[in-house]
Structure 1
Amino acid sequence: MRQVLLIIDVQSTFSPPEWLVDGVRALSAMIPTIASVQLHDEQVTPFERQLGWHPAAEDESLVEADKVFIKHGYRQTAETIEYIRALGVERVLVCGLQTETCVLAAGFALFDAGLMPTLITDLTVGSSLDRSGKMGIALWKHHFGNVITRAQVLAERGD
């Protein structure tokens, strides 16, 4: 199956757990990989004004990727979606931080673009509201249906 890994906001700003970074790194070494990094630009997304906090203005992905896209809010950029669409993949494996916000927003963007978003449930961490990610995983299953574990991805590849 032609697929790509989309890593959502695994960056210093959000203090990802080491197990997540290690797991995503191991998988990204085997599959074409795209990463998003969320940066702050108050002119684009009013985090400070509306929420009283904001991500860093400068940061980078903690996982090496074939292509990195910068975003300034919860959703993926049109450029990211078009890049993925141009790859002609059958499935987009999604992992990363903030399962019920930024990861879920990526799922909606991918779904609306006619792609097949598939959440890697053991390579995601929820926001401070639900660090387990269970709420986001349940929302993902409800809206998109497609979930998988890292072990299942490896088994499909024969690894």
Structure 2
Amino acid sequence: MLENRINRRAILHSGITLAGTLAAVQLGSGKKAQAHFTPSSQRKGILLAVDLQNGFLTTPECQAVVPKVVNYASQFHQVWATRFFNRNPNFSRQLNWNEMVSGQETELSTTLSPVVSKTFDKPSYSPVSRALLQVLRNDGITTVAVCGVDTDACVMATALGLFDAEFETFVVSDGCASSGGQEYHEAAIKILERNIGEQYVISFSELPAMQQ
């Protein structure tokens, strides 16, 4: 029974097929591009922790992300978080997945909450909306480092949305995990390297300074 519940929870954050992911990676293999980071004096960066909610922290790998975020929180101007609420009928209709609607499972990890300055609720893979973009711009944020779960679903959607919105976007490779397992996490990292740049998919210790 527990295994079935975990598998249903994993559906949302493992929506990309591994075969399709690896095929796309092969298309992007080639010469490494040069990074053009925003100068430190002009960078005001936040850490955006994606969906670190009780109902998604179902594996040791996902649970291990939370203490890393807390440990590195002081390196950023602020830590913001997203919370997923299952409101889109497609999750039930197409995936037969009906969890994360309300209650304790939708709450942020209590370990994470003390370091979070702002929280944004969403009914979709990505939180990138006019409202979020307006807050980012009003606060003078230039750079967003994305972490959380799942690498192959909501983390990827968030990073690509921020990239499209013209923010300097990093994905913290050791600050992400997938409830689908390490294979999905690694495949998603490869996709992200191709789509936002290898130099922008790096570990916490490799990130440039995020505070002005």
Alignment TM class, shorter chain as reference: 0.7 to 0.9
Aligned to 2:203: 149
Find the partner of 2:120 among 62, 69, 75.
Answer: 69
CA RMSD of superposed structures (Å): 2.0
1:27 aligned onto 2:69: no
Aligned to 1:93: 145
- Measure how far apart 1:86 and its partner are: 2.4
Structure 1 portions without partners, runs of 5+: none
TM-score w.r.t. length of structure 2: 0.66
Runs of 4+ displaced beyond 6 Å: none
More helix by share: 2
Alignment deviations for residues 5-24 of structure 1 (CA, whole Å, 9 cap, x no partner): 10110111112533211101
Find the partner of 2:186 among 121, 124, 134.
Answer: 134
Q: Which has the larger radius of gyration?
A: 2
Aligned to 2:28: none
- Partner Cα distance (2:63, 2:181) in 1: 20
Alignment deviations for residues 57-108 of structure 1 (CA, whole Å, 9 cap, x no partner): 1212222210001011111141223222322223111000011111110012
Q: SS state of the match for residue 46, structure 1? A: helix
Find the partner of 1:47 among 87, 91, 97.
Answer: 91
Q: Which protein has greater RCO, CA pairs closer than 8 Å, 6+ apart?
A: 2
- Measure how far apart 1:132 and its partner are: 5.8
- Measure how far apart 1:150 and its partner are: 1.1
Aligned to 2:48: 6
Does the 8 Å contact 1:81/1:109 carry over to 2? no
- Measure how far apart 1:151 and its partner are: 1.4
Aligned to 2:84: 38
> Identical aligned pairs, as a percentage?
25
